[in-house]
Amino acid sequence: MFVDEAEVHLRAGRGGDGHVGFRREKFVPKGGPDGGDGGKGGDVVLIGDENTSDLTQFRHSPNLHARNGDEGHARDCFGHAGTDLVILLPLGTIVFDAETERVVTELTQHKQRVVLLYGGKGGKGNLHFKSSTNRTPQQNTPGLPGGEGQFKLVLKTIADVGLVGYPNAGKSSLTNCLTEARPKTAPYPFTTLHANVGIVHYPERYERISMADIPGLIEGASENRGLGHEFLRHIERCRLLLIMIDMAGTDGRDPLDDYKFLLAELKKYSPELPKKPTMVAANKMDEPAAVDNLKRFKKKFKKVTLWKISCMTGEGLDELKEELRVQVRAEQMQTVSA
């Protein structure tokens, strides 16, 4: 099961207590204090990881904590620091404070490291309390508690290309054809219930791009109907949107209306989404009805460049695959130069 939301309780380690001790050696009958400090508690560390796909790890482990620091020891020895709790999160994860709903951090780059909660400081041993008037101090201080909190994790998929379309438009089929991802396909709405991210390889160029098969969109998604915001949030960070149109008009749909409503839903959710670089693929061109619908589409939307494809026969897939590479690389170069 793909999990793109999770609420977790995280706690950093407590610092170890300081030690009360005195030197007890042969020929040193009145040794002074030698109690060491307690070790620092472990931190809670988040690391962005491109090989982690979702938040499934928290489904059965919603409470996690770092190790406490050890107590100080005799002979001025400090206690061992507690082991950090290191959590690998998929790229695109936003961390919210569950109580205030404030964004705490975002993980967008591979190996990005964020210390979310710091471990408590270790307590002081009695060595620190020695003075001219107190040669045998019995004082020490306890370790301090580490940071603690309830957090909500929300995954917004990061991919080069985001496939946008209504159910049965052929997004999952295209993903099967172009990438190593293997989402299930079937002729009914909401076949895809979560974002599948696959990799499109270009072995002759030693390049690759990532493509996200986003759950099928319906009218009213911007108002959180159906999969609603669970769908729309996954496309916010894609470099390029590939709008899939069922040009054959399966289930009595009109491809022209589908295209118009898709743009409208994207704009309602975020005015910035329609401004993203966009390509439009006319799928199911192997079916007779698609030919007439394509003529109507071109007449209505004269400025839209269409890529005619058929996931069934393979028509136009090589050309589309190459154009996706060109467009993504252009966006990457523009981002670097900016």
Q: How many residues in the chain?
A: 338
Other CB atoms within 10 A of residue 333 CB: 10
Task: Write phi, then psi, for 106 (nearest 5 degrees).
Answer: -135, 145
Give residue 175's pLDDT.
82
Residue 69 contacts residue 122 (beta carbons within 8 Å): yes
Give residue 148's pLDDT.
94
Residue 151 contacts residue 12 (beta carbons within 8 Å): no
Mean pLDDT of 274-283: 89
List the single range of 9-13, 40-44, 77-81, 329-333 with lowest mean pLDDT: 329-333
- The number of helix segments (H) and strand segments (E) in the chain equals 5, 14
Q: How far is CA 9 from the centre of its chain?
A: 18
Sign of the torsion formed by the C-alpha atoms of 86, 88, 94 and 97: negative
Mean pLDDT of 108-123: 92
DSSP state of 251: G
Q: How far is CA 327 from the centre of its chain?
A: 24
pLDDT confidence bin for 231, thresholds 50/70/90: low
Task: Write phi, then psi, for 121 (nearest 5 degrees).
Answer: -75, 145
State the DSSP string of 216-250: PP-TTGGGT-TTHHHHHGGGTT-SEEEEEEETT-G
Model confidence at 29: pLDDT above 80: no
CA-to-CA distance for 140 and 271, rounded, in angstroms? 60
CA-to-CA distance for 177 and 116, rounded, in angstroms? 40
Residue 44 contacts residue 5 (beta carbons within 8 Å): no
List the single range of 173-182, 257-266, 284-293 with lowest mean pLDDT: 173-182
Residue 54 contacts residue 3 (beta carbons within 8 Å): yes
List the single range of 95-99, 108-112, 116-120, 130-134 with lowest mean pLDDT: 130-134
List the single range of 183-192, 197-206, 280-289 with lowest mean pLDDT: 183-192
Query: For 123-180, what is the HEC assignment?
Result: CCCHHHHCCCCCCCCCCCCCCCCCCEEEEEEEECCCCCEEEECCCCCCHHHHHHHHCC
What pLDDT digit, counting tens, does each position of 142-184 carry? 999 999 999 999 887 667 888 888 877 887 788 888 876 544 4
pLDDT confidence bin for 200, thresholds 50/70/90: confident
Q: What is the pTM of this model?
A: 0.65
Give residue 228's pLDDT.
40
CA-to-CA distance for 128 and 80, rounded, in angstroms? 18
Give residue 193's pLDDT.
47
Secondary structure (3-state) at 268: helix
Q: What does the block give as tokens for 212?
A: 């996200």
Q: What does the block give as tokens for 185?
A: 């396909």
**CB burial readout 251-277, b (16+ within 10 A) else e:** eebebbebbebbeebbeebeeebeebe
Give residue 226's pLDDT.
39
